[in-house]
Amino acid sequence: MNIQMVGIDYNQASIEYRELFSLTQSHAFHTAQELKEQCGCDGVVVLSTCNRTELWLSGTCQRDALETFCNLRRVPYAEYRNLFTHRTGLAAAQYLFSLACGIQSQIFGEDQILTQVKNALSLAREAHCTDSVLEVLFRCAVTCAKEIKSSVALNAKDTSVPARAVRLLREMLGSLKGRQCLVIGNGEMGRLAAQCLVREHAEVWMTLRSYKSREVIIPAGVRVIPYEQRYEKLPDIQIAVSATVSPHYTLNPDDSHWKAPSHPVTLVDLAVPRDLDPRLGDLAGITLLDMDKLGITSKDILETPAVQKARGIIREKVLELENWEEFRTCIPRIHSIGRHTAQGVRYKLVKPLRQALTSDEERRLVQELAQAASQKAVCNLLYGLRENLDPKLWQACLLALEKSAQEMEQ
């Protein structure tokens, strides 16, 4: 398949490098459009999550996609290119299938990545950047992931990044019951974090920007404070979780409202780029956790029977995709056989129709109808033949029929 993936993730780069390439939905939308226009490829899908940013491209690119992306992000290509992985063809497809089911995630087996893959495709559609190849590739990845989720127990302890963060907090601090917690951000990650903390019977407050007060969903059991009052709440809390898309730090020790805590505080940064100033981790009494401290996938997990079964399903789906691609490339040949055959039928009808019909218009109409019907019938027969023959034998039949059809037209 003429596809390629260029990506950076937690395997190659720490968070301070990944955040340089992290994209909001709006940025991903415009990046896809810019890459398609500047690189001249057939399709582009941009996948950007807290642990990865990937560019999926189909067709032949006239320019280096990574260099173009670096230029768009205003970072030096030569300095960062070695942090990116490049995959092509069916190897790229196999990677995407395993990514969609959570095998490639830093939080092993997590469910969020499947939604993120689906959303990346939807966003590319809105930007008019997909083509048939990327549409089929991503739809097959989603279908594969759903089959694995329904038939294989990957034994993921945590189904999301916020769930992993809260489990880690419980392991570090013991019971979270009654602990005062502040969640900064009301997006999906913030709401998931708040819900996980409530299930641990913590006392949870969530920040809310005033201009969004009519547009948000507040999880049950969570109290709200204005975003502007987050520093005022800090002296009371023991845990703060930040998960926003803000271009600025949500907590910054240089802010005039900052007050050093008088008791131990654990800060959790679920954002990429980071929400919390990294210098906070150097302050007395503060423990700072970012995405890179939430746990790496164990190699032992990847060798379990469940994962091996999942990989078997992935191989089957990749083979189906390969067959689809092979068939897609044969469609022009099938239509050519049908066209040559139908043209030959039209020539064969000239003499009989001259004897049977006196009107030139009637003869022309019958010839056109016979030609169209013949072409459709031949194409349908070849499509059906593919379902009943070994692929190699079918290819041999196509080759023989191509020669026969051309001779028939002559």
Residue 85 parent element (H or E): strand 85-88
Residue 13 phi, psi (nearest 5): -140, 140
Angle between helices 112-126 and 132-151 (to 10 degrees): 160
Paired tokens of 280: 């906070």
List strand residue ranges (DSSP E) for 140-234, in order. Answer: 180-184, 203-208, 222-226
Give yes or no: 50 in active site.
yes
Residue 239 parent element (H or E): strand 239-242
Residue whose tokens read 């503060």: 286
Contact 272, 294 (CB under 8 A): no
Please tell me the distance from the alpha carbon of residue 102 to that of residue 379, in angstroms, as a whole number.
40
Alpha helix ranges (H) inside 2-46: 15-18, 25-39
Please tell me the distance from the alpha carbon of residue 245 to that of residue 23, in angstroms, as a whole number.
9
Cβ-based neighbours of 119, under 8 Å, separated by 6 or more: 25
Q: Which of 50, 61, 101, 196 is catalytic?
A: 50
Please tell me the distance from the alpha carbon of residue 43 to that of residue 129, in angstroms, as a whole number.
5
Please tell me the distance from the alpha carbon of residue 172 to that of residue 154, in angstroms, as a whole number.
25
Cβ-based neighbours of 269, under 8 Å, separated by 6 or more: 242, 275, 276, 288, 289, 290, 291
Other residues' Cβ atoms within 10 Å of the Cβ of residue 355: 7
Paired tokens of 297: 């996938």
Contact 50, 23 (CB under 8 A): no
Contact 184, 190 (CB under 8 A): yes
Please tell me the distance from the alpha carbon of residue 107 to that of residue 121, in angstroms, as a whole number.
22
Cβ-based neighbours of 176, under 8 Å, separated by 6 or more: 166, 169, 170, 197, 200, 201, 202, 239
Mind telling me the catalytic residues? 50
